[in-house]
A and B are shown apart, each in its own frame.
Chain A
Amino acid sequence: GAVVSQHPSRVICKSGTSVKIECRSLDFQATTMFWYRQFPKKSLMLMATSNEGSKATYEQGVEKDKFLINHASLTLSTLTVTSAHPEDSSFYICSARDPNAKNIQYFGAGTRLSVL
């Protein structure tokens, strides 16, 4: 099946630094990718929709200046958490929509971010 690669799987950083997370669709071109945040024992919360070649669409309440999204190619989207703080510590998951497979969303393995 379709594969989405997410990197890194885990990152620990100091408060105030920025962290970049990459999401790649490995065997299909994804014009649309999604970034989710998952709190412990909670469901997925959509943060933004990443559109190739255009600006991301952020969900209400998500700071676009804090969570920078770039979708530079049909196979890569990046999420940069700028000036990270401990409250940004979370599990971030990306997914990519496969237009050739009923638009099913395939997910990356997730990135666990810990901000000290």
Chain B
Amino acid sequence: AQKITQTQPGMFVQEKEAVTLDCTYDTSDPSYGLFWYKQPSSGEMIFLIYQGSYDQQNATEGRYSLNFQKARKSANLVISASQLGDSAMYFCAMRAINTGGFKTIFGAGTRLFVKA
């Protein structure tokens, strides 16, 4: 069975500092994709970053980077130089190609609060 776990229901970070949001996953499928989405209070899900299970390097997108530890089955999101606009709900997600088809499962989410 596939599973995504986000153990931090809420996180606080000071503006301009870096923050790491944890995500662990479980799948028996050797081929999978990992995603992070941001959901501000408006409700829209915003794609942030993608990591493929066979990618050799950790994904980076601007201030977002994904710390991919395959052996540990973790895919933590690192946000550098936090901004007030980063305050939102963050979801980790996974799609296992062979066993999951194109279905993506989501973690419970982490609410990030950026303090001025």
Contact = CB atoms under 8 A, between A and B. Distances in A.
A97 B109 CA distance: 21
Interface string B35-49: 101000011111100
B91 A43 contact: yes
B52 A93 contact: no
A103 interface: yes
A106 interface: yes
Contact of A93 (B33, B45, B109): B45
A54 B45 CA distance: 26
Contact of B35 (A49, A104, A108): A104
Nearest to A59: B103
B98 interface: no
Contact of A44 (B47, B101, B102, B106): B106
B81 to A, nearest CB: 21
Nearest to A42: B108
A95 B104 CA distance: 11
30 contacts: A1-B47, A34-B103, A42-B108, A43-B91, A43-B107, A43-B108, A43-B109, A46-B103, A46-B105, A49-B101, A49-B102, A91-B43, A93-B43, A95-B45, A103-B33, A103-B95, A104-B35, A104-B47, A104-B50, A105-B35, A105-B47, A105-B104, A107-B44, A107-B46, A109-B42, A109-B43, A110-B43, A110-B44, A110-B45, A112-B43
Q: Which 5 pairs, one residue from A and one from B, show the smallest C-beta to C-beta distance?
A: A107-B45, A109-B44, A110-B43, A43-B106, A44-B106
